[in-house]
A = this chain, B = another copy of it.
C-alpha cells in the first residue's frame, strides 16, 4: 500500500519529499508528543520506499529538533525544547550560585490592535493581537513584554480564559492554535525607560534599559510572533551560543 506524498516538488529526492510530508503532518497536528509516530518499517511500506530512505528523512527532522528517537520504543514528535532557552536574559542563579525561584508571568492585557510599524514589518500584517505581560523573579519585576501575533492565525486568542495560559506562551500557541514555533531571532540593544515601563519595572524614568526584540518563526519559516521585552540594564545578562 502506498500513500501519495504531500504536495511537494517531484524533482526532489524521495527522502526530502518524505521529510516534507512528515513535517506537514506534524504541523497539521496529526500526531501528539505522547504517542509514537508510525514505525520506520510502517512508513516505508506506506510510502513505498526502503527503510533506509525513511531513516534519512527522519534523521533530518531529528536534526531539526522536530522528532525524537527512543530506541526500542518509537519515534516521537517533540514539543519545542526551545522554551527553556527563553529565560536566557535572567541570571538564573543568585550571585552565590543558588538557583533562583521559578520565574512568574503576569498577563496585563490582551486585545485586538494595530501593529506598530516594526511589528507589522516583521509579521507582514497590521492586523494583530497585542499581549502585554510582566515577568518576575522572586516577586521582583524583571521584564516587561509587548507581544504581537497575527490575528489571522490566532483568532480568539484575546478571549481565552486566563487559566489557559501557563508561564510560557509557545505551548499555548501549539495546543490551541496549531502554531509550532521552531526558530527565532533575538536582537539585544540598549535604551532608556519610558514612564510607563519604569513604573512597571519599579525603576526610574530614563534609567538604562536592556531591550530584546524577537521575531519567532513557525515550522514553515513564516513569522508568527514579534515581541519587544525590556528589563533593567543593571544585572541584565544575555547568553548565546555560537557554532
Contact = CB atoms under 8 A, between A and B. Distances in A.
A187 B237 contact: yes
Given A190-B190, A190-B208, A208-B190, A239 B63 contact: no
B185 A240 contact: yes
User: Shortest 7 CB-CB distances between A and B: which pairs?
Assistant: A190-B233, A188-B238, A240-B240, A186-B240, A184-B242, A189-B237, A187-B239
Q: How many copies does the complex hold?
A: 2
B189 A208 contact: no
A130 to B, nearest CB: 22
Residue of A184, A186, A240 with most chain B CB atoms under a 10 A cut-off = A240
7 contacts: A65-B243, A82-B242, A184-B242, A186-B242, A188-B238, A189-B237, A208-B208
Interface in A9-23: none
Interface string A201-216: 0000000101000000
Contacts of A31: none
A210 B236 contact: no
Given A187-B238, A190-B208, 14 more contacts: A183-B241, A184-B241, A185-B241, A186-B240, A187-B237, A188-B238, A188-B239, A190-B210, A190-B236, A208-B208, A208-B233, A238-B238, A238-B240, A240-B240
Contacts of A233: 190, 208, 233
Contacts of A65: 243
A85 interface: yes
A234 interface: yes
A237 B191 CA distance: 11
A14 B65 CA distance: 25
Contacts of A184: 241-242
B82 A236 contact: no
Nearest to A188: B238
